[in-house]
Structure 1
Amino acid sequence: MTIMTTTDWTTQQTSAQQRSLAGGGKSGVAHIEQLTGKSGREILEAMMAGELPYPPMNETMNMALLEVNDGHAVFQGIPLMQHYNPLGTVHGGWFAALLDSAMGCAVQSTLPPGRSYTTAELSINIVRSATHNTGPLRAVGTVIHGGRQITTAQARVEDEKGKLYAHATTTCFVFDVTAG
């Protein structure tokens, strides 16, 4: 088993962001014509390669999609001072965004062309606080059940030593995409 350091994780996130930009990527929202005929996984891979825009919130939340496979997605974020709540720690919304992104992309990775999803329910447990000194945190999302209309997934947020910070489950509503 290879032990990764904070430097390795930070480098991995920076590389993912640079790979997207090198492919001509920028933040934004893809047009339906760009998505037509692509599976959920193909859409995510195109975002990672910079062929499709990546979500603007990735910049706001300082996070990136690192890997995707069928029913599996890994997001990483590095909390910053701009993500603080009034109590001096990272706001729960930052954790929610990281977890929802990992689980949502895990769900999306299983969808055929012409299908999409939206989060219907999100349940989060934050078990450890984080600060800007915590370093990179990684959310690994996996699909638990994939159905025609309802798909469930789970995710955990851990640091490079495997220390748990938060965990979550989601229920996503799956539907057909209609043009316009």
Structure 2
Amino acid sequence: MSEPTIDWAAQQQASLQRSIAGGGKPGLARMEQLAGKSGREILEAMMSGELPYPPMNETMNMTLLEVDNGRAVFQGIPLPQHYNPLGTVHGGWFSTLLDSALGCAVQTTLPAGRSYTTAELSINIVRPASHKTGPLRAVATLIHGGRQIATAEARIEDEAGKLYAHATTTCFVFKVPTT
């Protein structure tokens, strides 16, 4: 007996609707909203709508679908506004989807009062995409989570498991300034 297939586009829409139903909207969280929350708790609060989600998610037509310790899943559906002059999805769209998943995989492991920023991002796009490609999913996992440096890897695949891009990152981990 085969597993039931999940409609990825419907799953992305349901995730966004769940956030909106919880009061979520694009914006920036205030420091007092983040205080005392671990990195994973912050991401879960964005997914539930308790905290705003990044405005860039709307621009890039992407959504955070899942988080677990050392793991994050983003999904995006490329649209014609994401095209380069040659008529395929711009490399920056792939980079943004990958960087978001990679950073959030790191963030899921951070205690309250710690944050990160991308120090290095290396991507390989192995196949072009268009609006006809449909949903593409970036799954990222932590490789190393140190006190000051964290590394992670990710892959972008379609619903059939076809690889479109893969990446690694190095993130600088730091104490959140209190002033």
Smaller-chain TM-score bracket? over 0.9
Partner of 1:80: 79
Distance 2:5 2:102 in 1: 23
Where 1:79 maps in the other structure, the secondary structure is: coil
- The two structures, once aligned, show a CA RMSD in angstroms of 0.9
Aligned length: 178
Partner of 1:46: 45
Partner of 1:95: 94
Distance 1:20 1:123 in 2: 31
Where 2:92 maps in the other structure, the secondary structure is: helix
1:9-158 equivalent positions in 2, closer than 5 A: 9-158=8-157
Distance 2:158 2:131 in 1: 13
Distance 2:107 2:132 in 1: 32
Where 2:110 maps in the other structure, the secondary structure is: coil
Percent identical among aligned pairs is 77
Deviation at 1:178, TM superposition (A): 1.3
Which one-letter code corresponds to 2:156 in the other structure?
A: V
Check the 8 A contact 1:4/1:160 in 2, yes or no: no
Distance 2:171 2:27 in 1: 23
Deviation at 1:2, TM superposition (A): 2.6
Which one-letter code corresponds to 1:77 in the other structure?
A: G
Where 2:117 maps in the other structure, the secondary structure is: strand
Unaligned residue ranges in structure 1 (runs of 5+): none
Distance 1:132 1:4 in 2: 21
Deviation at 1:127, TM superposition (A): 0.1
Unaligned residue ranges in structure 2 (runs of 5+): none
Distance 1:2 1:127 in 2: 28
Check the 8 A contact 1:99/1:156 in 2, yes or no: yes
- Give structure 1 regions of 4+ aligned residues with deviation exceeding 2 angstroms: 1-5
Distance 1:66 1:78 in 2: 13
Deviations along 1:22-59, whole A, 9 cap, x unmatched?
Answer: 00001011010000000000000000000000000000
Query: With structure 2 as the length reference, what TM-score do the two structures score?
Result: 0.98
Which one-letter code corresponds to 1:64 in the other structure?
A: T
